[in-house]
């Protein structure tokens, strides 16, 4: 564990995702890492619906790049090729001006050299299709 982070690692089945608790004191930027079909969108739906109280349907932003839910944003950068494309969809504007919401970013590798996350979530597949190992890293700023 790095001196500037707190790491929490645990295995969850799909039916246990509701047990995941994350400190989301706003504003926060959350990066979600994992392979295709790792449950990044499923976990994002849990965070938005159950932890942040978003009552509308939570849809994958794969083809729209991001969705806005009140003061919260859900990005999926999988289909972007470079940082200029992120800039073109107003991603930079949204991240630079986040004063009160939670921003979830799937496939954050494209922007991780430019932006730091408050929380990084790593989702790894296990031998069971219905289970994932999820590591939540709270990045402590100023250390």
Share of the chain above pLDDT 70, in %: 93
Q: Could you report the per-residue pLDDT of 74-133, keeping only the tens digit for each?
A: 999 999 999 999 999 999 999 999 999 999 999 999 999 999 999 999 999 889 888 888
∠ CA 25-57-93, rounded to 5°? 55
What's the rounded Cα separation, in Å, for the pair 132 and 117? 22
| Contact (CB, 8 A) for 104 and 74 | yes
| Contact (CB, 8 A) for 103 and 73 | yes
Binning pLDDT at 50, 70 and 90, where does residue 3 land? Answer: low
Look up tokens 């470079």; give the residue. Answer: 82
Look up tokens 């504003």; give the residue. Answer: 27
**What is the length of the chain?**
143
- The correct answer on CATH 3.40.50.300 for the domain covering 5-139 is yes
- Record the tokens describing residue 93, joined without a space: 């504007």
């Amino acid at each position: 564990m790095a001196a500037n982070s707190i790491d929490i690692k645990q295995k969850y089945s799909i039916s246990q995702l509701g047990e995941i608790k994350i400190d989301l004191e706003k504003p926060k930027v959350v990066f979600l890492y994992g392979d295709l079909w790792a449950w990044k969108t499923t976990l994002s739906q849990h965070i938005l619906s159950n932890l942040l109280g978003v009552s509308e349907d939570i849809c994958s932003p794969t083809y729209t790049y991001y969705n806005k839910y009140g003061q919260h944003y859900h990005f999926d950068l999988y289909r972007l090729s470079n940082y200029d494309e992120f800039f073109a969809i107003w991603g930079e504007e949204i991240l630079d001006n986040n004063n009160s919401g939670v921003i979830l970013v799937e496939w954050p590798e494209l922007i991780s050299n430019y932006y730091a996350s408050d929380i990084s979530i790593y989702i790894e597949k296990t031998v069971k299709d219905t289970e994932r190992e999820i590591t939540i890293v709270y990045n402590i700023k100023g250390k």
